[in-house]
Each structure stands twice: as C-alpha cells, then as structure tokens.
Amino acid sequence: MARKPYLDADSHATVTGAVAEAELTTSGEIVTVLADRSDGYSDITLAWSALAAFLALTLCVTFPEWILDAYAGLLGGWNTDWSPQEIFSMAAGAAIFWFLIIWLVQLSDAVRFALIPGRVKTARVHERAVAHFKVGAERRTHGRTGIMIYLSMREHRAEIIADEPIAAKVSAEVWGEAMADMLVEIKQGKIAEGMAAGVRDVGIVLAEHFPRAEDDENELPDRLIEV
C-alpha cells in the first residue's frame, strides 16, 4: 500500500514558491527533500531480537531450577525428570520465542523507532541526506553552488548539505540557525511553513556570499521532492 504524502498540492506550492523567491537574490541553487524515513533499520530490529534471545538463554543458565520448575508447572507439575535433550529443547524454544516476540513487536513503526538509539538515527539521516545530495545536487551547478535541505519525518531529524564552495565559506553554525527556525514550525505540525522558513534563511546567507549574477540560470528544480 502506497504511503499517503505528508503535504498536499498547496503545501508543496508553499515550499516551491519559497525556493523560487530565495533564488532571485543568489546564484545558489536550493533543493528541498522531504522523506518519510531515512532507513529501514532492519539491523537494529535484528539486534534487539537477538539480544532478547541471548537474555532468554542467559536466564536459563543463571536460574535453571526456576526455569525447569516453571516448565513443569505448565505441564501440570508431573514431569520433573528432564533429559538433556528436553532441557536443550526448552532453552532453544525460549530463545526462539523471545526472538520472534521482539521482532514482531518492532513491526510497529512507533515501537521500532522508539528503540533506535538517537545517535544511530542521526547518522543514518546524515548518510541518506548526503546520498540524495550526491545524486540530485552535488556538482550539478555551474559554480557548484547547490545546497539541500533534507527533512526526515520518522527520525525527527533535518540536515543541510552544501557543495564544497558553499561549505568553505559558511560555517555549520550558520546553518544551525536556519535549522532552528525551520524546526520551530515543524514541531507545531507546520511542515511546509517550516521548510519555507529554512529556505528563506538559507537564501539570505547564500545571497550574502553568492549574489545572483545577471546571466544566472535556474539549474536545479525548485519543487519540493517528497520520497
């Protein structure tokens, strides 16, 4: 089933209009990307499931009598003379059971993303933003003045990635201010308005360092890319 877009046509037009207006004063080219998520995090899902299986086995080793008594209780309390095969089967069953339970629980996006460490989210969002930038904006303008505003909704993370000439002149702290203005709106549920605010801030900075030339051409699309 296809995911419902975050923004309607009017909201897309709001962001597109902000990009077009910002580029009137700069030779910089602003690209905006709105992503549902930056990664599937299948490795993290497997890691939590494997940890649950490992803990189940650890409990079997640490509290064997308690575990065996619990199994005996499930069987009515009759079978208390366990064979090695039965003991190993119970331990394996416990490990498989908890592996599957934790894996199934993480099929819920809310649970899965709650269990992903913040540093992992930040790293994956940055990696995906850089990947999008390399494909859609890096070195695709005459003066290498492309810049991307990337917003990843599930991780609640945003990135601003710029071509090398821009990065050499503008420090990361400056983009942090644009990011802050953007996130103020987004935290209130105003995604389009937030991205438009970020675009305007980025445009002001670009206009200072890369003013628009008379023969400047629009080399990258102004429209918001939603993936």
Q: Is residue 109 predicted with pLDDT exceeding 70?
A: yes
Residue 46 has pLDDT above 90, yes or no: yes
DSSP state of 63: S
Q: For CATH 3.10.310.50, list the domain ranges present in the chain.
A: 9-39+118-226
Among 40-54, 132-146, 153-167, 211-225, the least confident range:
132-146
Residue 38 tokens read as 């930056």
Closest CA to 136 of 40, 220, 14, 37: 220
Judged against a pLDDT cut of 60, whether residue 79 lies above it is answered with: no
The per-residue pLDDT for 33 is: 93
Residue carrying the six token digits 């039965």: 86
Which CATH class, in words, describes the domain spanning 9-39+118-226? alpha beta
Average pLDDT of 174-196?
88
pLDDT exceeds cutoff 70 at 218: no
pLDDT of 175 reads 86
Dihedral of CA 208/213/214/215: which sign?
Answer: negative
**Residue 75 pLDDT > 80, yes or no?**
no
Q: Which two tokens stand for residue 174?
A: 């400056």
Query: Which residue spans within 41-186 are E strands per DSSP?
Result: 146-152, 157-162
pLDDT of residue 32: 92
3-state helix, strand, coil in the chain (%, to 5): 60, 10, 30
Site of tokens 């065996």: 68
Task: Write down the pLDDT at residue 73.
Answer: 66
Alpha carbon separation from 205 to 30, 64, 66, 172, 198 (Å, rounded): 12, 65, 66, 12, 11
108-135 core/surface letters (b: 16 or more CB in 10 A; e: else): eeeebbeebeeeebeebbbebbeebbee
Task: Name the residue type at position 127.
Answer: E
What SS3 class is residue 149?
strand
Q: Give me the phi and psi of 131, to 5 degrees please.
A: -65, -45
Q: Is the pLDDT of residue 138 over 60?
A: no
pLDDT at 74 (0 to 100): 66
Q: What is the pLDDT of residue 153?
A: 93
d(CA 193, CA 225): 15
